[in-house]
Structure 1
Amino acid sequence: MAKKSKKTAKKIVRREYTKADVKELRAHSKAKTPLVTIAKLTKRSEGSLRQKALKLGIRLGHRR
């Protein structure tokens, strides 16, 4: 595999979830907001949001 140059490699930035972030996530869960929309609003990946919701014991991405 070819190595990516430093200009094209994407830097991974980890941000902690604040109390406000958790509160917002709970509100979106209650409002049944689609996961894609939450991801765009919070600027976090869908996987990150799903993992946090799993730890909090709430549901996300109500599409059914």
Structure 2
Amino acid sequence: MSKAAKRTRRVWTKDDLRALKRHSKEGTKVARVSKELKRSVGALRAKAHELGVGLGPMQR
């Protein structure tokens, strides 16, 4: 069996938050934002919800 990847919690920086808000306004796809910020889709959605911003082209 292979070892499971170790997960490390990364703190959200001001630059990360600015990028998330900018992508929210632009309606960028979540997968693209995930790759750019090197965070999971779930982490992005959770932070966007916490900030009260929509995420992705079909924002709620």
- What is the TM-score of this pair, normalised by structure 1? 0.84
Secondary structure of the corresponding residue to residue 24 of structure 1: helix
Question: Which consecutive residues of structure 2, in runs of 5 or more, have no partner in the other structure?
Answer: none
What SS does the corresponding residue of 1:12 show, helix, strand or coil?
Answer: coil
- 2:39 corresponds to which residue? 44
Runs of 4+ in 1 over 2 A off after TM superposition: none
| Aligned positions, number | 59
Identity, in percent, stands at 42
Unaligned 5+ segments in structure 1 are: none
Greater CA deviation, 13-22 or 45-54?
13-22
Amino acid at match of 2:15: A
> Secondary structure at 1:49's aligned position in 2?
helix
